[in-house]
Structure 1
Amino acid sequence: MEIKLREHIHQIVQLTDEEFQHAITFFTKRRYRKHQYIVQAGDVNSHEHFVVKGIVKSAYTDPEGREHILQLAMEEWWFSDPNAFNNGIPATLNVDCLEDTETLSISFESKERLCASSRKMEYFFRKKYTTGNIALQKRVLALLSHSAAERYKQLLSQYPTLHTRVSKTLIASYLGVTRETLSRLSS
C-alpha cells in the first residue's frame, strides 16, 4: 500500500526515505467491502482517502431521491466530501465502494500537521488540489457544453478501463444521460 502512495507522491515531489517514513505515519490503512459506505450524507467526514485498490463512487442524492454521480475514483485517485472534510461540517455526499477497496486515509488534523512539518508534502497537496479543481472545472464545462456523445468519447479516452469495471447505468449517471442514451452511444 505504502509503495503506491510513495510512487504517487514522487510524480510531483521527491521525498527521501526519511521524509516518506515521516509522512506515512500520518496515514491509516483501511479496507472496505464492495457496497460498503465510506462516507454517508449527514456524517461528519473527517478523512481524505487515497485509493490503493478498488473503485468508489461519490454521489449526491437530491431531495427527489435522484442520485447524481460526481466522481468515480479508482487507483491513485483521492476522494472525500471536500466541503465536509475542510470545514468540519456534515457530509452532503455518499461515497460507497463499487469493488472491494483499500485506501490510505488522512484526517484533516493530520494533514494540517503533516503540511506544517513538511514543505514538500504541503507542495504535493497544493498541486493535487489545483489539479483536482482543474479536472472538476473541465467536467462541469463538458456537462454544460458538450454533447452526450462527446462526453462519452472523452470518458473512454481518459479512462479506457473504466467501462470494464463499472456498470453502464453508473457511467450513464456520471455522464448525465439515461441508460438508453448510453446504449445508443456505445453501439
Structure 2
Amino acid sequence: MEHEKLLDTIKSYDKISKEEETNLENFFTALKIKKGEVLIKSSTPCNKLFFVNSGLLRDFFINETGNEITTIITCEGRFLTNIISFNGFAENNETIECIEDAEILSISKENFDKLMHSSKNLKCIYADIIEEYYALLTERFHYLNTKNVEQKINHLKNDFPFLINRVNDSLIASFLGITRETFVRNKKFL
C-alpha cells in the first residue's frame, strides 16, 4: 500500500514486471517525517533519493549573502535528490527538508545502483524521469533569470498552483527568486 503511488508513477512511464515491482518495494523504505525535519544537510553527501507519497519537500541552498534559495519544491508523486551529489559528480551544497508533514519513500545510492543493475527497463524509466527533471529545472532557470515579477507569479499560478495555499510567503518568494516583500506586494497577480 505505501508503495502504490511509487509503482503507479513508474508505470506511467512504461510497463514493469512483477519482479521489478517487488524490487522497488524491497529497496524503497517508507518514512514518516515532520515539518521542519532535515533529510539531507548541506556539506554532507546526498546519498538518498526520495519519493513523496504525501506532503512537501524542498531542496535549497544558502547563497553568499546568507539568503536561502529554493531550488525546487517537490509534491506528491515526485522524486527529489541533489542529483549532482547523488551521482558523485560534486559535493552536496544543498539541504533537503520537509516543509509539510510527509510520508515518503527513500532509497540509498547503494540500493539504487543495485536496482538499476537489476533491470534495463527500470534504467530506461529512470532516464525518462531524469530528462523530465532536467527540463523542469531548465524551465525554472529560464523563468528565474529572464522573467519579471508578474510573469514569475503567473508561472507559479499556472504550473505550481498547489504551492499557493500550502507554502508560506517566504518559501514561495525564495522559490520565485524574489524577496518576500516583493512577493507580498505583488500577490494581486495570483
> TM-score per shorter chain, which class?
over 0.9
Aligned to 1:122: 123
1:116-170 residue CA offsets vs partner (Å, 9 max, x unmatched): 1111211111100011111111111111211111111011111222111001111
Q: Alpha-carbon deviations, 1:84-126, whole Å to 9, x = none?
A: 2110764211111111112111111211111111112111111
Instruction: State whether residues 59 and 67 of structure 1, in contact with CA within 8 Å, keep that contact through their aligned partners in structure 2.
Output: yes
Secondary structure of the residue that 2:21 maps to in structure 1?
helix
Identity of aligned residues (%): 26
Tell me how far apart the structure 2 counterparts of residues 44 and 28 of structure 1 sit (CA, whole Å). Answer: 19
Cα RMSD of the aligned pairs, angstroms, is: 1.5
Q: Secondary structure at the match of 1:165?
A: coil
Hey, what's the Cα distance between the residues in 2 that align with 1:88 and 1:130?
A: 17
Q: Which runs of 5+ in 2 are unaligned?
A: none
Tell me how far 1:66 sits from its aligned partner: 1.2
Name the CA distance, whole Å, in 2 between partners of 1:63 and 1:146.
23
Mapped partners of 1:176, 1:121: distance in 2: 35
> May I ask how many residue pairs the two structures share in their alignment?
187
Which residue type is aligned with residue 32 of structure 1? I
Which range moves more in the overlay, 174-183 or 15-24?
Answer: 15-24
After TM superposition, the score normalised by the length of structure 1 is 0.94
Which residue of 2 is the match for residue 155 of structure 1? 156
The question of whether the paired residues in 2 share the 8 Å contact of 1:45 and 1:89 is answered with: no
Query: Whole-Å Cα distance in 2 between the matches of residues 81 and 159 of structure 1?
Result: 20
Find out whether 1:2 has 2:22 as its counterpart.
Answer: no
Does the aligned pair in 2 maintain the 1:47–1:80 contact within 8 Å?
Answer: yes
Match of 2:48 in 1: 47
